[in-house]
C-alpha cells in the first residue's frame, strides 16, 4: 500500500478567474495502450484553428490535417524495452535520437509510476512520481493523478466531460489553475494535448500525460 499522498486536489480549489490560454499543441500518435513505439509531434503554429476552450470538431480536424503533414518529423519518439504494454518506455529526441527520459509504467508498480530524467536534464532536475489521489470513479479508476515538480503540486483530473477529457492543474497561491488539456483521437490510439508552456516544461506534461492515458490498471495482453 502507498502511504497517504501529502497533497489532495480538494486542498486547492479551482481558480475560476484565470483563463486557460494554451501556447503549444502536440499530437500523441499511437501513445495509448501501445507496446512498441509511439511518436509525439509538436504542431504549435501549424494548426489552422484556434483552441476555444474545448476540443470541437473544427479544431480536431485541423490538428489531424497538421499531423499528417508532419508525421515524418516527430519531436519525440517513445520506445519500449520489450513486447509488453507496461514495460519501461524510453523517450528520445526525434531528430538526434538522444535519450531524454524513461517512463516506468511496469505492472508491478501498482500505486505509482515514475518518469526518470538523466542528470543535467533541461526538462527536470529530478524524477517525477505520479500517484493516485482524490478517490476513485465507479469503475475503480483513479479520478486524479498527482505529481510534484520543483516543490509545486500538479493534478491530472479525469472527471471533465465524463472522463473523456483530461485536465492538468498547477497549484498556484493555494488554488488550482488549468494549464493543459488532453483528449483521445484516432480510434482511441492517438491523443491531442494543448499546453500553456509558460507554466510547465512540455516533456514533463507529455510524459505524465502518457502515464495518465495508459492507466495504472491496464493489463498486458
Closest by CA to 37, choosing from 75, 1, 90, 73, is 90
- CA 156 to CA 81: how far, in whole Å? 26
Q: What is residue 39's predicted lDDT score, i.e. its pLDDT? A: 96
pTM, whole model, 2 decimals? 0.89
Continuous segment of H or E residues that includes residue 114:
strand 113-116
Q: What is residue 169's predicted lDDT score, i.e. its pLDDT? A: 97
Q: What is residue 36's predicted lDDT score, i.e. its pLDDT? A: 79
Nearby residues of 57 by Cβ (< 8 Å), 6 or more positions away = none
Rg (alpha carbons) of the chain, rounded to whole number: 16
Which positions of the chain have pLDDT values less than 50?
Answer: 1-3, 108-109, 217-221
41 phi/psi in degrees, rounded to 5: -110, 130
- CA 14 to CA 23: how far, in whole Å? 21
Residue pair 104/114 in contact (Cβ under 8 Å)? The answer is yes
Which alpha helices (DSSP H) does 27-97 contain, by range? 57-70
Nearby residues of 141 by Cβ (< 8 Å), 6 or more positions away = 158, 163, 215, 217
Q: What is residue 1's predicted lDDT score, i.e. its pLDDT? A: 38
Burial class (CB in 10 A: 0-12, 13-18, 19+), 197: middle
Quick: pLDDT tens for 120-145. 999 999 999 998 886 555 555 557 88
Transcribe 148-162 into DSSP letters: EETTEEEEEE--GGG
All three cell numbers of 132, joined, read 493516485
Q: What is residue 32's predicted lDDT score, i.e. its pLDDT? A: 86
Q: What is residue 2's predicted lDDT score, i.e. its pLDDT? A: 44
Residue pair 128/154 in contact (Cβ under 8 Å)? The answer is no
Extents of the domains making up the chain: 9-214
CA distances from 178 to 33, 104, 106, 212 (A): 26, 26, 29, 16
Closest by CA to 166, choosing from 216, 140, 205, is 205
Amino acid at each position: 500500500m502507498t502511504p497517504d499522498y501529502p497533497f489532495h486536489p480538494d486542498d486547492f480549489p479551482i481558480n475560476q478567474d484565470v483563463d486557460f490560454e494554451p501556447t503549444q499543441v502536440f499530437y500523441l500518435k499511437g501513445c495509448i495502450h501501445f507496446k512498441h513505439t509511439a511518436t509525439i509531434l509538436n504542431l504549435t503554429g501549424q494548426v489552422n484553428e484556434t483552441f476555444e476552450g474545448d476540443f470541437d470538431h473544427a479544431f480536431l480536424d485541423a490538428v489531424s490535417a497538421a499531423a499528417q503533414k508532419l508525421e515524418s518529423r516527430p519531436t519525440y519518439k517513445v520506445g519500449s524495452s520489450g513486447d509488453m504494454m507496461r514495460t519501461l518506455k524510453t523517450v528520445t529526441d526525434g531528430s538526434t535520437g538522444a535519450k531524454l527520459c524513461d517512463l516506468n509504467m511496469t505492472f508491478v508498480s501498482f500505486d505509482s509510476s515514475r518518469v526518470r530524467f538523466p542528470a543535467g536534464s533541461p526538462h527536470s532536475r529530478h524524477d517525477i512520481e505520479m500517484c493516485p489521489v482524490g478517490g476513485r470513479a465507479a469503475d475503480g479508476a483513479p479520478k486524479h493523478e498527482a505529481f510534484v515538480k520543483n516543490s509545486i503540486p500538479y493534478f491530472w483530473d479525469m472527471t471533465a466531460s465524463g472522463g473523456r477529457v483530461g485536465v492538468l492543474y498547477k497549484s498556484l497561491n493555494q488554488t488550482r489553475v488549468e494549464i493543459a488539456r488532453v483528449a483521445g483521437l484516432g480510434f482511441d490510439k492517438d491523443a491531442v494535448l494543448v499546453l500553456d508552456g509558460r507554466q510547465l516544461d512540455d516533456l514533463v506534461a507529455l510524459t505524465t500525460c502518457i502515464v495518465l492515458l495508459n492507466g495504472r490498471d491496464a493489463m498486458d495482453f
